[in-house]
Structure 1
């Protein structure tokens, strides 16, 4: 017997009831290919459900959450966003203090006080909370800067150009110039305990 043309194994062609459907045999079509954050305003998801979805991924500040939810606010009920944010805060789904601690935990080991504070401001945290965090971070900045320096360089600057390069690197990470002078100055005098 001679083989039938097109009946080779894996050709994807069939004479059965699914013939003509293409090579996607056995695959189900996705009913909604868009993720939660890209669904349209008329998709039926409430603001609270959207907020809980965002908060389940990571902590958000109140201002950041308001910005992300603003496109989904119903024009007939503009106070809905404030009510939802208040409810989330009351039910402890959203907390600016928890968000700040989460951001500090992620950023502070590799970044200086200035950059961490700048990021907290961008997320809309209140000034009194930022002042407390700044004092907390300043107490550990020297140790954090020294750890970053040891990880990147771990050697004294060979000359003024190398000193400037190491200084610029640490300054770009947001560490204060006083800390950097102390770290690099200790390297010049060889007094850094390792």
Structure 2
């Protein structure tokens, strides 16, 4: 690491370890969090050392992240976007989504049932029914489900 003293390099490594003991981080997240405190740091050397010790892995981060988001009821589109924002490449994202082994259609239906416990009331006017259906579609779209899973969930629920 290109520091003036070994103590500075050790401080950077210690700060990185402190962050990684709390939860997994992507390389981009670590760099962003540490850059303010260590602006002149050699992050490539840090990441090489962390990878050598298996303390930081973008693959592991993506898998853990995707699994946790599936458990929260989020869809693949939202998970993909969130991983991209954290600096994860498309290949790792696809691998992480496959590892999650989620049934996106069933998960969409489950989220719909959890949020809206009752079917759309048939006593409502046609316009009100369409508005309620659109509201439910927006909810699932916001959670990151693709259009085919949303349509399937709406049809399966009612």
Instruction: Please report the TM-score for the alignment, with normalisation by the length of structure 2.
Output: 0.80
Q: How does 1:95-134 map to 2 (within 5 A)?
A: 95-109=57-71, 110-134=73-97
Using the TM superposition, give the Cα deviation of residue 185 of structure 1 relative to its aligned residue in structure 2, in angstroms. Answer: 1.7
Q: CA RMSD in A?
A: 2.2
Structure 1 residues 73 and 187: alpha-carbon distance in aligned structure 2, compared to 1, 3 A threshold: closer
Residue aligning to 1:55 = 20
- Among 108, 117, 123, the residue aligned to 1:154: 117
The answer to whether the 8 Å contact 1:113/1:138 transfers is no
- 1:164 matched to 2:120: no
Task: Report the Cα distance in structure 1 between the residues aligned to 2:151 and 2:39, rounded to whole angstroms.
Answer: 54
Pairs aligned (count): 143
Give ranges in structure 2 of 5+ residues lacking alignment: 1-6, 122-128
Instruction: Please report the TM-score for the alignment, with normalisation by the length of structure 1.
Output: 0.66
Using the TM superposition, give the Cα deviation of residue 182 of structure 1 relative to its aligned residue in structure 2, in angstroms. Answer: 0.9
* Secondary structure at the counterpart of residue 48 of structure 1: helix
Higher Cα Rg: structure 1 or 2?
Answer: 1
* Secondary structure at the counterpart of residue 145 of structure 2: coil
Task: Report the Cα distance in structure 2 between the residues aligned to 1:169 and 1:175, rounded to whole angstroms.
Answer: 9
- 1:89 matched to 2:59: no
The answer to whether the 8 Å contact 1:66/1:85 transfers is no
Using the TM superposition, give the Cα deviation of residue 138 of structure 1 relative to its aligned residue in structure 2, in angstroms. Answer: 8.0
Structure 1 residues 156 and 74: alpha-carbon distance in aligned structure 2, compared to 1, 3 A threshold: closer
Task: Report the Cα distance in structure 1 between the residues aligned to 2:155 and 2:143, rounded to whole angstroms.
Answer: 18
Give ranges in structure 1 of 5+ residues lacking alignment: 1-42, 189-194
The answer to whether the 8 Å contact 1:59/1:94 transfers is yes
